[in-house]
Amino acid sequence: MVVVMKTSATQAEIDQVVERVRTAGGEAFVSPGELRTIIGLVGDTTRFMELPLSQLPGVENVIRVGRPYKLVARELHPEPSVVKVGSHPIDRRSVTVIAGPCAVESETQALEAAHMAKRAGAHLLRGGAYKPRTSPYSFQGLAKQGLEILAACREETGLPVVTEVLEPRDVDLVASLADCLQIGARNMQNFSLLKEVGKAHVPVILKRGLSATVEEWLMAAEYVAREGNMDIILCERGIRTFETATRNTLDLAGMAVAREATHLPVIVDPSHATGVRELVGPMSRAAVAAGADGIMVEIHPHPEAALSDGPQALTGDDLDRLVDEIAALGASLGRPVPGYQRETGRTPSMGWGSPQQ
Ligand code: PEP
Ligand code: MN
């Protein structure tokens, strides 16, 4: 951090800034200039941020240099992190596919979807047992029963499961039945939930908030990391803009910025980003081409009957085709879809339609 003093600042005012910084355990380096004095601060900048330095007499401006997040910053951890979910490693050398229904609706529906995910070559099964719905009258999820159904799906297909936790009091229960917790977009700045998940010993997918900047998203990850849980996967899922043609606006540049700024894996959810089934394929391909470490997509055995997010749900055939394409694209980028040929017996295919189709 740098403190820029006013041209009129007195020596006593400069000394006061230096004194405050030293009392907070930092070091202050004073550079007197022709017009104004600049003071460079070294030490734990998070502690300086709590000091009201900009309020002190004689201070013109306080400028932050460097990043406010530390544990998740690539600066302090240049080696990319590998986050293991069950036995599947999410890393920067391969492309992970996560698929499953928006919500667990019944055992039959969830099992059917789990088999679709498995057949397509997905590595993890997603599915909501606690649903954060905009309307309190919409289907809210099966709660504990939904978690048990997910555990049964894992039993049957071998796919580790990812599911959202909405409240701090549910973290232990969800962590005991799932392989990976999800913090949804609406809860990205629910700090008590972030802290509780930070104390859990299971990986977490942290979705970007609907109106969160990349920095706010990374600061949310820092909350989880600070409690000791470094197994964090960031997920870009579209942000709110003026555009209404799609449900949200997929911010692939934000994904790339986050991927550069941190050592954590960053994946993309093109389902919630677009809200439109036909756009899930193109945006998945774009995400992989832009460097995403994985995609998370919604599927449903009968999208027209889905209790939530039917219009964005892929069918089993859609998902097969999507994974074939991602495998082909990944192979050309030196980022394979692990186990693809072994699990599916299919061959990568670049056979996607023209943009006009
Ligand atoms: C979800 O993935 O089930 C979900 C609710 O997504 P988001 O939090 O991104 O809206
Ligand atoms: Mn959904």
- The CA 29 to ligand 2 mean position distance, Å, reads 52
**pLDDT above 70 coverage of the chain, percent:** 98
86 neighbors 315 (Cβ within 8 angstroms): no
Tell me the pLDDT tens digit for each residue of 261-307.
999 999 999 999 999 999 999 999 999 999 999 999 999 999 999 99
User: Quick one: which atom of ligand 1 is closest to the CA of 235?
Assistant: 9
Rounded to the nearest angstrom, the distance between the alpha carbon of 185 and the centre of ligand 1 is 6
Per residue in 43-78, pLDDT (tens digit) is 777 777 778 899 999 999 998 877 889 899 998 788
φ, ψ dihedrals at 72, nearest 5°: -95, 0
Looking from the CA of residue 237, the nearest atom of ligand 1 is 9
Mean pLDDT score, 205-221: 98
Closest ligand 1 atom to the C-alpha of 207? 9
Q: Tokens in use for 84?
A: 């293991």
Nearest ligand by distance to the CA of 217 = 1
Are 168 and 199 contacting, i.e. CB atoms less than 8 angstroms apart? no
- Out of 134, 139, 163, 182, mutate this one to test ligand 1's pocket (max ligand atoms within 8 Å of CB): namely 182
Which residues' Cβ are closer than 6 Å to ligand 1?
102, 128, 132, 164, 184-186, 207, 237, 269, 272
**CA 190 to ligand 1 center in whole angstroms:** 15
Q: Which-ligand-closest: CA of 133?
A: 1
Integer angstrom CA distances of residue 250 from 230, 335, 355: 26, 22, 18
What is the chain's mean pLDDT, rounded? 94
Cα gap 202→39, rounded to integer Å: 43
CA distance 108 to 302: 11
Q: Where are the domains of the chain?
A: 2-63, 83-332
CATH of the domain spanning 2-63 = 3.30.70.1140
Distance from the CA of 97 to the center of ligand 2, in angstroms? Answer: 16
Please state, as a whole number, how many other Cβ atoms lie within 10 Å of the Cβ of residue 10: 12
Same CATH fold, 83-332 and 2-63? no
Q: How far apart are CA 286 and CA 297, in angstroms?
A: 14
Is the domain 83-332 a CATH 3.90.220.20 member? no
Give the residue carrying structure tokens 């990319």: 80
Atom of ligand 1 nearest to the CA of 182: 2
- Classified as helix, coil or strand, 11 is helix
Instruction: Give dist(CA 249, CA 272) in Å, integer.
Output: 9
Helix (H, G, I), strand (E, B) or coil at 354: coil
Q: What is the pLDDT of residue 213?
A: 98
> Hey, what are 261's tokens?
């700024």
**Residue 357 reports pLDDT greater than 70:** no
